Amino acid sequence: MPVHGFELIEERQIPEINSLARRYRHIKTGARLLSIENDDENKLFCIAFATPPDDSTGLPHILEHSVLCGSETFPVKEPFKELRKGSLNTFLNAFTAPDRTMYPVASQNRQDFYNLVHVYLDAVFKPFLTRETLQTQGWHYETDGPDAPLTFKGVVFNEMKGVYSSPDSLIGRYTQQSLFPDTIYSLDSGGDPAVIPDLTYEQFREFHRRTYHPSNAMIFFYGDDHSDERFGLVDQYLSEFERAAAAPEVAIQPRLAETRRFVYGFDAGPADESGNGADPKRSYVTINWMLNEITDVETTLALQVLSHALVGTQASPLRKALIDSGLGDDLTGGGYGPHYRQAIFSTGLMGIAADDADQVEALVLDTLAGLAADGIDPDTVAASLNTIEFRLREANTGAFPRGLMYAMSANQVWQHGGDPMDGLAFEDSLNSIKRRAAGEPRYFEALIDEHLLDNKHRTVVLLQPDAAARERSEAAESARLEEARAAMSAADVEQVLATMQRLKAEQDRPDSSEAVATIPTLTLADLDREARSIPIDMTEIDGASVLTHDIFTNGIVYLDLAFDLRRLPQRLLPYGELFGRLLLGMGTESEDFVVLSQRIGRETGGIGRSLHTATTRNGQPSTRL
């Protein structure tokens, strides 16, 4: 029986995440909704849209900024800013990916959660999107006067100027472009500063109309709120739309027949500046492959394990070979990347001499060939399998809500035609990989052969310092601005000045009290009157205090050992953090660094260290490692 316009399509227990998953479809619009029900009080909502870019104007990125600049029900300039004043949210943000845009929000308080969901739904479906919004968030002309030259300004324009001046960002951008020359991944959804000013207001509005539609939406609920009220709130917005076409699927990139090589330059500053263009070892090189379709979840997991074995730790053989070569300063590339319809593997070095790029490529291929022929150390494979399994079971996202990681994992598969639950249920794939690794002596070596050494879809990207890069970029921008200025009449220039004044006035204008009052806030009645209770049992073992917390940890035991450093002279306490780092990173009398690293990875989910200094209730200093 439909629930607030939604029909149930699939229901499945997912014990790996201690949840009941229910997949729904909105009957009227076709909107997709995944409900992950469990006892996690940190509730999360996310609405995502497939937003494959048509060009590199950064339209998806600019639109992400713009829908959060006021909407019909909540007509304030910065809803996020106002929400933070009266919300207990544990996450409040938005993301633009190469092919989708996501709006996640989380809170442990039920009323707060519904308030946030309401604001988000209004923002994406009923934003103002005025011409001034595009000009502020995207781009506009500015000038100091009727006879002064023009400049480009805009929040995203300025942001992407910074991105395009960073070689770390550029090498990733060029790597993506090299592997997907025939798909939307060859474009920049974030925006190329040289192309952003091509964006028109008509394109801006049309892209929102076409992509921010229920028929193109993926909606995700997670946590301990299982009520039908969620569906009613969403249906209030969806039911105002008619069914429409979803965004077109991202095309499959045809495989290359041979390796392609690319050379790019980046702004290194004038050649005579010390540490800039004069430094011969400032280049980057990546060796890259296009791999499997992301909906093949078992292959994805197997390649994640392989990637960790190759480059995931300081002791990983491919990483170690690259670092020990002395050709560069550090790795670049990131290993396995599941962020596209077809995943990638990318590795290389930064801080190399440009002339050494061929040596780096040869070293990568020779190391892979040696590992495929001679075998990967079984302890390395076991450690990587264990590490990836721990990551999956822990879902330790640091400051991010756990539900956000699950939303991203589900969307990764969902958008490209897969079952989002397959992105969350990993047990079958993991057990299959373990069986194959145990029963097929060359299982991971065969993956190296198939997906890397025998894979002709390979690119090599060299990014090298170019002392003239900034000058060329600035000259091209100046020429465009001069051409635009020459085509302007006196009235056009006055319009530019008027737009500047209007945008400044809008920026300085405070929200009215009536507008601010529309933003929902919490009252004392909405707050829990008692603090959350965490079970704790205190015992002693050989005189040492032992605290045990019996809570759900997905089968993982967490152990913290605290060593009292009161006996140390005070002058040595600052070295406590360094000591902890060396303890884990230098090996022991019986095991060198590589063997110790393998054993830690094979037998634990990782060992960390931290130095804690505090003052006790009675005013005594306490330092523990």
Arithmetic mean of pLDDT, 229-257: 96
Residue 74, SS3? coil
Average pLDDT, integer, range 214-219? 98
Whether the pLDDT of residue 570 is over 70: the answer is yes
Residue of 534 and 150 predicted with greater confidence:
150
Give the model confidence (pLDDT) of 251-261 as tens digits: 999 999 999 99
Judged against a pLDDT cut of 90, whether residue 544 lies above it is answered with no
Q: What's residue 123's pLDDT?
A: 98
Rounded CA Rg of the chain = 27
* pLDDT interval class at 270 (50, 70, 90): low
- Mean pLDDT confidence for 490-511: 95
Q: Provide the pairing of β-strand 458-466 with 283-293.
A: antiparallel
Instruction: Report the range of poorest mean pLDDT among 155-169, 386-400, 515-529, 586-600.
Output: 586-600
Q: State the pLDDT at residue 546.
A: 84
For residue 124, the one-letter residue type is V
296-350 pLDDT, tens digit per residue, is 999 999 999 999 999 999 889 999 999 999 999 999 999 999 999 999 999 999 9
Query: What is the pLDDT averaged over residues 180-203?
Result: 98
Structure tokens at 248: 């077109």
433-458: per-residue pLDDT in tens? 999 999 998 999 999 999 999 999 99
User: If you average pLDDT over each of 255-264, 395-404, 544-553, which comes out highest?
Assistant: 255-264
State both tokens at 312: 């995931």
**Hunting for tokens 């060359």 — which residue is that?**
442
DSSP states along 126-151:
SB---HHHHHHHT-EEEESSTTSPEE
Residue 625's pLDDT band (cuts 50, 70, 90): low
**Is residue 274 pLDDT above 50, yes or no?**
no
Mean pLDDT of the chain: 92
pTM over 0.85: yes
Token pair for 66 = 């713009």
268 pLDDT higher than 70: yes
More confident residue, 149 or 147: 149
Least confident range from 274-288, 320-334, 412-426, 532-546: namely: 274-288
pLDDT of 529 reads 80
CA angle 535, 537, 541 (to 5 degrees): 155
Confidence of residue 208 (pLDDT cuts 50, 70, 90): very high
Taking CB atoms within 8 Å and a gap of at least 24, the contacts of 357-366 are: 357/283, 357/285, 357/460, 357/462, 359/325, 359/327, 360/285, 360/287, 360/322, 360/325, 360/327, 360/328, 361/285, 361/287, 361/460, 363/321, 363/322, 363/325, 363/327, 364/287, 364/318, 364/322, 365/287, 365/453
E-state strands within 225-341: 260-267, 283-293, 330-337
CA angle 97, 101, 104 (to 5 degrees): 110
Residue 458 in contact with residue 256, Cβ under 8 Å? yes
Q: How confident is the model at residue 615 (pLDDT cuts 50, 70, 90)?
A: confident
**Which of the residues are catalytic?**
64
Q: What's the confidence (pLDDT) of residue 279?
A: 64
Least confident of 146-155, 357-366, 555-564: 555-564
Give the pLDDT mean for 536-555. Answer: 81
User: What domains are defined for the chain?
Assistant: 1-250 (3.30.830.10), 260-466 (3.30.830.10), 559-624 (no CATH)
Confidence category of residue 271, pLDDT binned at 50, 70, 90:
low
